[in-house]
Chain A
Amino acid sequence: MAAAPERQWSDEQLKSEEVPKKELIKFIQDSAAHSFLAEHKLLGNIKNVSKTAKKEQLIEAYNQLFQSQRFKGTEPDAPTEELKAVKISDAPKDVKTETVDEGPPKFTKSILKKGDKTNFPKKGETVSCWYTGTLEDGTVFDTNIPATAKKKKQSKPLSFKVGMGKVIRGWDEGLLTMSKGETARLEIESEWAYGKKGLPDAKIPPNAKLIFEVELVAVD
């Protein structure tokens, strides 16, 4: 929800030719709540409103709007038109899954190799890491580390924006506690991994606790 709009014209400006009727109507239509517009008879095509409303009426409405603060989004019930013309976001959003604090973290970390202890990733930054994932019984279900050191030189570590819900929660939370260069062992309970469903494609059974050895190579 945008912050409340600000007055951009003084009374003198409004009364003068400087602010044309249509511009004033547009501003009010863009900023005011639906019911406000309905009460002041300012709904509809700008051309039509301009024909029927006098400048004095518009100035009064403008002032009233700021007095009453009845801007868009302050009314509880969204009217039908709003939904039909709903401004559906074309710009892709980074949707964060709401993480409510539900108690103790569902992962543990043991540091295998210390990092620089200075460069910690922040939410939204891109991290790159090498990793190996195993089940509790030792089965390796995934890794991005190639077999030979030579091949590792030719591959790229996995990169993604951390803390944004793009990876399993255990990773998001775990990586935020690591510093650049650190290698750690993350043991993640199933609730912060793949939960009841598991990931049969990757041979992860339901309710599986996952163990990852992760090396944080780079931060943004």
Chain B
Amino acid sequence: MNKAFRSISMALDQLSDMVQRCQTVKDESFAPEDYDLFTAAGSTCIEQGDSAQVLSILVDEKNQNIVRCMGWNLLGPLVKMLLKKEDKTLPHCHAILLHLLEVCSPKELLVGLLEQVEEADSGSIAETITLLLKPLQTVLLRLGIRKASSVGMALSTLLSQVSRLPVPVTAEQEEDDVFGLCRCCSALLQFVKPFVEEIKEVVKDNNSISKDNELRVELLKFCMKSLSEPLLEVQLKDTDTLQRSPLRDFATEILIILSDIGESLPDLLSRNVLRRRKVPGFLEEEVRYPKESLACMSHLLFVDHIAVDIFPAVFSPIFVLQCNMEYIELLLSRTEENRLQKGLELYEKSLVRVEENSLPVDLLELKTFFSVPQNLVKVMTMCPDQTLRTKGLKVFQLSIDKFNTEAKYKFFRGMLKTSHHAGVEGYIIKNIKNQIDSSLKPGNSNDWFLGKHLLPLLRLVLCLPQGPETDLLQNLDRIMESLNLLRYMLIRDKEWDNETGIWTELYKIEDNYLKPMRTGLNMSKAHYEAELRSTKENRKIGLKEAKASVCSVTVGNEKLPNMTPETQIQVLQSALFTFDLIESVLARIEEIIEAKDRPQS
């Protein structure tokens, strides 16, 4: 019974003694040694589990000055004990905390609490935050009208820690919330509520709020930072996949808060399109509205349909596309797969709203309408993930379909001049063929894919960049599409109609394209046939290495071992088949031309 009483620890003794001594000190002029003793003894007591005794010392009326000045130093050990969640000590520790929150200086408490948040190790971030959010809120509210910068500091510290938490990927992971991200996000929403309400009150009373209102600015920073981390990282699940989603709620609330503090979502969306440059304080504006955060916001609105009911349904889809191009450009210029995924989704969703053939040519004068396709080509040709490459191509074609005829023309011309990738060029040339085909249909004629503009475009298509020395295999995609296009035109556009002008241009095409192609083809075939023969002979003789490898393969600066003669034969054979393919179309074209030259029988 009296065992507990008899085992009062030394630390508790020290604490009681010190406190008694200091009760008589006037004007709170305590010596530094007093602070140290209080902190050391108090901490030890708490760590040893004597929290009940510490509590009674701290709540004693006579000790209030001491507690007010020194109490906050106990926050460290206190929080550690609270996180341990021992039944024995928990209620007392909580009571100590509450008392300190009431009595100590808010500024000092803030420092102490944020220190605990910052120092939390990765395993206990979520626990620490969920424990300390209410205390932090209490302290901040005690600061009254001077709270803004402290609120900002707290939010920034909290978000930095939250963004260290792993982001759930599947719906199951979000439900399980093993690392606590969802819990923290929900708790953060509760945390900011009173501050948002305060701003709403200001708006209510004055019918408006100054853009520079400090608290408003801190809340804006919080929203912008949240959009960047964690929201840009998160893949939100729709209601069918996950009915209750804390992350979806978090995203929704962030957008609503933005609206509540006076930021119009349409204005945010169109910031990069409508802003004027070189406005005083311009750089500050840039910092206040980071593009990455706005990109996330746009994705939330248009792909995840978050808070879409607070976004006005009156804007023209072309304008919305124009605004979103800025964000699509940003997302597609990154290499992380989830950024690319979001960029492609946003692009697709923005394009789908626009009618076919409706985007005017002046849009192509805007930087983003040129840089986004360039980024898209990089994704289509170089992204390691096949689903992204495929999706990239799909969106690429979708974007082409939305341009009007003149814009398509200008776009194709630009792409042919700048892409330097045979696959992409081939794809563009196929599109050109489709446009010519469409233009030849009754009622569709236009100046771009018929008439005077077509021929300059064709000159870009029907050319061999290195003349007869052009590597036919490397440029296969492009060559096949060009030959197919030419064949198509010669068959479809009868000589006596000549709507496309191809027949009058033919002699030039023969000289500049078909003849060098024929020469190159013959040369390549002869060369590869010779190589094939010698490789077969070498194999017969049993030579280990073929004399001159037709090709060597280097991957990541390491040359792969030379191919076996069998493999080499296969490669050479395959090349020859390819040449046959080119040959077949070329021969057909030559046939059609010859038929024209023959007199009518």
Contacts and interface: CB of A to CB of B under 8 A. Distances in A.
A195 interface: yes
B316 A91 contact: no
B207 A154 contact: yes
A51 interface: no
Interface string A199-218: 10110100000001000000
Interface stretch (B164-172, B246-254, B272-280, B557-565): B272-280
Most chain A CB within 10 A, of B200, B262, B363, B366, is at B366
B264 interface: yes
Given A195-B355, A196-B355, A197-B355, A89 B366 contact: yes
B204 interface: yes
Contacts of A168: 314-316
B313 interface: yes
B543 to A, nearest CB: 48
B367 interface: yes
A97 interface: yes
B314 A93 contact: no
Contacts of A201: 302, 305, 308, 313
A88 B367 contact: yes
A144 B312 contact: yes
B353 interface: yes
A95 interface: yes
Contacts of B207: 153-154
B370 interface: yes
Contacts of A166: 270, 315-316, 319
A181 B526 CA distance: 83
Nearest to A193: B314
A197 B274 CA distance: 26
A142 B414 CA distance: 41
Interface in A163-220: 165-169, 171, 194-197, 199, 201-202, 204, 212
Contacts of A153: 204, 207
Given A95-B360, A98-B360, A201-B302, A165 B318 contact: yes
Contact of A197 (B309, B317, B362): B317
B203 interface: yes
Query: Which residue of A92, A144, A153, A204 has the most chain B CB atoms within 10 A of its CB atom?
Result: A92
Nearest to B323: A166
B456 interface: yes
Interface in B253-307: 262, 264, 266, 270, 272-275, 277, 302, 305
Contact of A156 (B264, B272, B413): B264
Contacts of A96: 362
Interface string A89-122: 1111111111000000000000000000000000
A158 interface: yes
Nearest to A204: B313
B319 A165 contact: yes
Given A84-B418, A92-B273, A98-B360, A169 B316 contact: yes
Contact of A88 (B308, B317, B370): B370
Which of A83, A195, A201, A212 counts the most B-chain CB atoms under 10 A from its CB? A201
Nearest to B404: A98
A77 interface: yes
Contacts of B200: 154
A141 interface: yes
Nearest to A141: B313
Contacts of B353: 194, 197, 199
A46 B160 CA distance: 53
A95 B316 CA distance: 12
B206 to A, nearest CB: 9
B322 A95 contact: yes
Interface of A: 77, 80, 83-84, 86, 88-98, 131, 133, 141-142, 144, 153-154, 156, 158, 160, 165-169, 171, 194-197, 199, 201-202, 204, 212
Given A142-B309, A156-B208, 14 more contacts: A80-B417, A83-B413, A89-B365, A92-B273, A92-B275, A95-B365, A95-B366, A144-B312, A165-B319, A168-B314, A168-B316, A196-B355, A197-B354, A212-B314
Interface of B: 200, 203-204, 207-208, 262, 264, 266, 270, 272-275, 277, 302, 305, 308-309, 312-319, 322, 352-355, 360, 362-363, 365-367, 370, 413-414, 417-418, 456
6 contacts: A89-B367, A92-B274, A93-B365, A98-B360, A142-B313, A199-B313
The 4 closest A-B pairs by CB, nearest first: A202-B313, A142-B313, A166-B319, A88-B367
